Chain A
């Protein structure tokens, strides 16, 4: 046996820690750039600025990391359900107690400190899922397992949806990747991608053309089918009907069921002029800011488009605008590579675990961070609808920084002790 504390510093994956640190520091500098007012003399450390406060949050995050690393690695698995239960209670509590902030009831307010339980639901759910699926004898091809997983993931997702926090709910779709790794049929991924495709088509192509198009494609497929048996033709027709149904359904949902602000967020994706003074404005400004960065960018603090506080999410959800504007395509390349590198590293680490609990948790970490990255940058560059979701480690805010830190470092702690864990399958 060797000293526990000593072992962490020797066995922790320093490459991941380095990637994490680069992200956090780059994020902090960009937060300063986003709030920087060239007219005023400002100090990056000033507590009246977001950058100064972010530094405080970073300090807290370092403290959290130390606590995580000092706790026994068995703690996380042992307490996984309890943590999950506590977070569920908090999610219910926030519905009862929280005040409406911008239409969402997702913040606990204790004095001047605001805590968002949905941020902590991410790692709690990941722990619970990993613990359940890591059990000896749990096989994903059993219906019972599938239903249990659906409940484990569905309950927090539903509670967050009731809070009117669409962005955080969407994050739970990240677990599809985890389940896929553990045996979920690839059809779910393919169907999902296809559904998104149809969804987009339904929104940009008028309904009549879409139906005619589907019919045309159906006829071509039938024409090309080598064996024109009744069964094959019926299958193609049924598929076409299903697609047409989905397309019409999407149209109906968007126009009749969705609330105006949700509809606006989706419609501006295709035509920003739809909502010029609201979300559309953000999308246009965001694209102009990033687009004006050029290849090499305008330079640190030299941006002109992201310098005024007229977009409220300048340093939170739209932080990527500042990166794109001031550091150009090269800066974007570096940041995106940094993230992809981090994801692949986590997957690599997850695969080397002997213990299923640690592996599943690792996949959850990579997927959750990935989905944030995907939605946030996709939104900033106009590929995805405007959904309020932070860019991990970059966006301003204590709750989100801490939640990603906790998420990642629990995994690094587990990884550091991988040799002490016994394989259970």
Chain B
């Protein structure tokens, strides 16, 4: 009889299942009130976007602001357009543009007849002023305000960077939980490196909506809502007026300028030429301009001060002097033998020690100095000594920041190149190379590679007599103005400060009576060193680093002008004018002709005939080839009529 009880138990199981299914049948199929309850009761998660932090220059001038733009939204179901042509006129559309907008909208995944859809995105203030008045005549359309980045000064594009929609790769990066598809993030420059500070914190509002998307109140009386927190404002160390001046001087030239305040490591100016107007990569401009900028053979999107690797040229003799003095393989007075594989083209035989050698940039002197550095305390085996000497030297100059990244607050900083033993082992084979294979590094040629920022930092190190602060562009984040402690820590370079005297004195004479007389500034002692960096492709690059005043320096500058020849002629006067402008506030009238001639000088390389890039495009507003290349012309040509959309392509 108890065996029969198994059927009772199974019966209970089945009965419960049947009761549940009957209940569910009434709940799900018979009773439709739950369905309408669901429709009337959807909870909409409305994201509250924070405003991105603005950026100020060192004097408190705004250099990156948020400009209001407007999205024209439509609810397709309510749209009623009686006179299409009049509507197009108001909205600034061509007839075909109007049609294609609707075509794209209907094809979009987000399109629904009852839900708001962004009909026109990011309409500028000016256009919106025209549209706003007429908007009431067109039911189904309304505007929502949002902001985009705007750059009132139109300079420093590469350093500031740009923002754009988040990439798929970044969105799916492991551990990434903050961003959602369609979010805007900083992609390069300061916008990227300070993304977390600038972006603020998104807020969320839960609202109850009915099926038509009409708000019916907040969910749980707002208990779960979080409000958006604006991004932090950044204070940059850049002097925006100086930046603008430097960019003007670098017009029609390829190269970079970096100016640092030695006592803090704050970057005052950072020019990458050719550049572009940063406003070209905001909002609606972005899709029009980004492609051509990217394809431009002069690569304006490339931030040369931290990415372009050059040979340092004669400027490197300063480093050779300092590490030699510190090691003791060089003294200030020793006269070195005037023999070597390099000649000395600046002066005739008068080798009066280190001071003189720097002042006249004597190649053979530095060949000998480097040789002594490498073979210091030799053992007799030149191969072994070369290996050890190389690594010792590499360590010493690494403290100056060569061959490694300095740690500037920008992404994609290049480290340059300082060869090590394994490099030469690869090139020549282990044990079969020595000093004579790479002596040309003595004068900053050969295998060496540096970026302009490292050279400006070298000028700052000499100005400080032995230490530097990691160069940085942001001197304060938020109200409290905090920055990372690595930017407020002194980095010593391992050379005692008294060793710097002879180098500084010699640099003063380089300007006073040496290779860089064009750098002289009235009543200020300028210390500098010219360089002429050899390059395989064309004319030498003109290089100059300097700081001023000699005592208690205010500014250290490095200037690179590609294919402009000797450093004293182009780079030195550019650096000098920048320093004068910074220290005195303006450039002396006497130097105006020099300034004018420098601005007018052009060292643009001969380009291969521009191919398909720009010419073939009839539709864009970009007409002139030079407009992206040369600073002055980077004003996007305005269409005669305010046309917002002519024809757009679907992204999908």
> Which residues of A come within 8 Å of B, CB atoms?
39-41, 43, 48, 177, 180-183, 186, 277, 281, 287-295, 304-305, 308, 310, 324, 328-329, 332-333, 336-337, 339-340, 343-344, 347, 350-351, 363, 366-367, 370, 373-374, 377-378, 381, 383
Contact = CB atoms under 8 A, between A and B. Distances in A.
A290 B28 contact: yes
Nearest to B43: A308
A187 to B, nearest CB: 13
A41 B172 contact: yes
Nearest to B223: A277
Given A40-B181, A183-B2, A293 B28 contact: yes
A79 to B, nearest CB: 28
Nearest to A42: B172
Contacts of B27: 287, 290-291, 324, 381
Given A290-B24, A308-B43, A344 B29 contact: no
Contacts of B41: 288, 305
B180 interface: yes
A197 to B, nearest CB: 14
B513 interface: no
15 contacts: A39-B180, A41-B181, A181-B2, A287-B27, A288-B41, A291-B31, A295-B28, A347-B9, A351-B3, A351-B6, A363-B9, A366-B13, A377-B20, A378-B20, A383-B19
A336 B17 contact: yes
Nearest to B39: A292
A344 B20 contact: no
A299 to B, nearest CB: 14
A354 to B, nearest CB: 13
- Secondary structure class of chain B's binding surface, majority of residues: helix
A288 B38 contact: yes
A180 B42 CA distance: 47
A235 B219 CA distance: 56
Contact of B20 (A48, A186, A381): A381
A281 B220 CA distance: 10
Given A289-B38, A291-B37, A337 B9 contact: no
A291 B34 contact: yes
Contacts of B219: 310
A308 B21 contact: no
**Nearest 9 Cβ contacts at the A-B interface:** A291-B34, A292-B38, A340-B17, A329-B28, A343-B13, A291-B27, A288-B37, A332-B24, A292-B35
A45 to B, nearest CB: 11
Contact of A40 (B29, B37, B180): B180
Contact of A381 (B6, B24, B180): B24
B10 A347 contact: yes
Contacts of A378: 20
Contact of B34 (A41, A292, A374): A292
B9 A181 contact: yes
Given A332-B28, A339-B17, A381-B23, A181 B5 contact: yes
B17 A277 contact: no
Nearest to B15: A340
A40 B43 CA distance: 17
B21 A48 contact: no
Nearest to A336: B17
B16 interface: yes
Contacts of B35: 291-292, 294
B21 A332 contact: yes
Contacts of B2: 181-183
Contact of B10 (A48, A180, A289, A343): A343
Contact of A177 (B12, B21, B206): B12
Contacts of A337: 17
Contacts of A336: 17, 20-21, 24
Interface string B446-480: 00000000000000000000000000000000000
Nearest to A46: B174
Interface string B157-178: 0000000000010011001010
B65 to A, nearest CB: 29
B59 interface: no
Contacts of B8: 180, 186
Given A324-B24, A351-B3, A294 B29 contact: yes
A177 B25 contact: no
B29 A329 contact: yes
Contacts of A370: 13, 16
A292 B13 CA distance: 27
A350 B10 CA distance: 12
A305 B224 contact: no
B490 interface: no
A310 B10 CA distance: 38
Interface in B185-231: 206, 219-220, 224
Contacts of A289: 38
Nearest to B7: A347
Nearest to A378: B20
Nearest to B47: A39
A13 to B, nearest CB: 17
Nearest to B26: A291
Contacts of A347: 6, 9-10, 13
Nearest to B172: A41
A295 B29 contact: yes
Contacts of B29: 294-295, 329
Interface in B32-74: 33-35, 37-39, 41-43, 45
